[in-house]
Amino acid sequence: MNLHIILLSLIFLSKTQAQDGNQFPGGFRFGVATASYQVEGAWNEDGKGENIWDYLTHNNPGAIDDGFLTGKGENIWDYLTHNNPGAIDDGSNGDIACDSYHKTAEDVELLKDLDVDFYRFSISWSRILPSGHANYINREGVNYYNELIDTLIANDIRPLITMFHWDLPQPLQEIGGWPNPILADLFVDYAKVLFDEFGDRVLEWITFNEPYQICHQGYSEATKAPLYAQDGIGGYLCGHTLLLAHAKTYQLYNESYRETQQGRVGITVNAMWGEPASESEDDATAAENYIQFTFGWFFNPIYASEGDYPSVMRSQIDANSQAEGFQRSRLPSFTQEEIELLKGSSDFLGLNHYSSYECARLTTDETTPSFINDMGVSYTQPDTWEAGASFWLKVYPDGIRKLLNWIKTRYGNPEVMITENGFSYAGNEQDLQDCRRVNYYNVYLEAILAAIVEDECNVTAYTAWSFMDNYEWLRGYTQRFGLYYVDFTDDDRPRTPKMSSRVYSNIISTRAINWTYVPEGFTACDWSTE
């Protein structure tokens, strides 16, 4: 077995504690997460390709020509941020972001101070393959990630790598992006480069982060790059390609790398719990349909015994497509061979969860293709739930426990790694005593612990989003999720620990939630007002 693998295994055996009634189980792991475009900066340095977010925020089409003259490619976030800065709340971009590209040693030191078991970060496809294609590998990009991976391991922190976190190379978007089925094979080419370059030290891979957001928001409702509004069509085409890209990557790992590298490959889907808005049967059905259309869309083909898309998606989209006059369903079909390829193609279920919705039956006479009409659900959040700065984020910790139990029941209790969970403040809030975020982590972790101990849900890891304040996509720098405050007005991008970072570190070291813990330098929170 590879020496790095042995060392990593020993690291985590040494950091676990025995379980008691209020502690997370021995072997349960804690980490933090970021994404490449949101923290790295260095958007055009050392041969990196341009992505759609760079392009959109810069509003400078000439940057494409200049970039390619220096060997730099472009991805979809480059394109989006350069050419449509009005789409970003504060008109900002991720050119520098947290400048993590130049701060590897400093950031790893902060991670070590948190005492995390792992660091989840994503690789910029454009930094490795500037054109998106594997005909040319940018060695400077490889060197950057090698340095980060090696520094993490030297500090007893396991790297958990996401291959794709929304920053598609712009040249691939210009041939259609994810709705083009050829991208499944191009993604496998990219994944092969990652396995070859980093797989001797990386034991855990996530192929895609949040395919629902990539596909529905990017290609149907135009709320993520590349801002395409092909509702009821583009998202389904994207999702079909993406699922096949994942399954083919899993197959590649099994056939060519698993025996020597001994790692694991999974995929992460974001899920908001669907709570029935009333006790009616219609609303109970609506809540179930909401979960199937947003979560089951991507996990049913992998984890359900029958495979394929959820039956409710198949039947409702097929029927609507026929009623709308389409010659075939707007939801593509897998071949039987593809269904079998997808089934079981994940070593763990990656779960991002932030909030929940109340769901009710939606009836409409609309005959225009629409994801919402296909789903047949309206969903809202009660005003009584505490709100974060993000319009979609309200505090309902029961939702994550119910969701974990739904996964256990529906999919046979697979291993779940919670790969994101966190709370947003407004970008102009500089109070380091972030009691509302501390409260959020405490109540959600309590719900997760109850799901593990009382409900016997197979949850093995928890990841706080995010390690530090960063570029929040279309929201720019107007929302902050970080455990560390980043001063984006300072060229050096200094990081300052918030109260939540100290509380989270204490949870990690004790493997328990302590509501009375007050970190040095902070004052006790008044929980009666939180």
Name the residue among 231, 206, 59 with its Cα closest to residue 118: 206
Distance CA 463, CA 472 (A): 18
Tokens of 477: 């720098």
Bridge partners, residue 51, by sequence:
75, 169
Three-state DSSP class for 485? strand
Torsion angle of alpha carbons 163, 169, 172, 173, nearest 10°?
110
> Using an 8 Å Cβ cutoff, are 62 and 85 in contact?
no
> Using an 8 Å Cβ cutoff, are 411 and 425 in contact?
no
> Using an 8 Å Cβ cutoff, are 10 and 498 in contact?
no
Bridge partners, residue 267, by sequence:
349
Name the residue among 462, 397, 386, 461 with its Cα closest to residue 424: 386
Name the residue among 217, 60, 199, 190 with its Cα closest to residue 136: 190
Distance CA 12, CA 429 (A): 36
- Burial zone of 450 (CB within 10 Å; 0-12 exposed, 13-18 middle, 19+ buried): middle
Name the residue among 509, 142, 120 with its Cα closest to residue 350: 120
Distance CA 529, CA 365 (A): 45
Name the residue among 175, 195, 184 with its Cα closest to residue 338: 184
Q: Which residues of 392-428 are buried (b: 16+ CB within 10 A; e: fewer)?
A: ebbbbbebbbbbbebbbebbebbebbbbbbbbbbebe
**Residue bearing tokens 């919705």:** 357
**Residue bearing tokens 């697979």:** 414
> Using an 8 Å Cβ cutoff, are 136 and 129 in contact?
yes
Distance CA 51, CA 278 (A): 44
Tokens of 435: 């009691």
- Which whole-number Å values give the CA distances from 436 to 148, 381, 426, 428, in the listed order? 32, 18, 12, 15
- Which whole-number Å values give the CA distances from 61 to 77, 177, 470, in the listed order? 13, 19, 25
Amino acid (1-letter code) at residue 267: I
Q: Provide the annotated active-site residues.
A: 210, 420
Tokens of 351: 């779960």
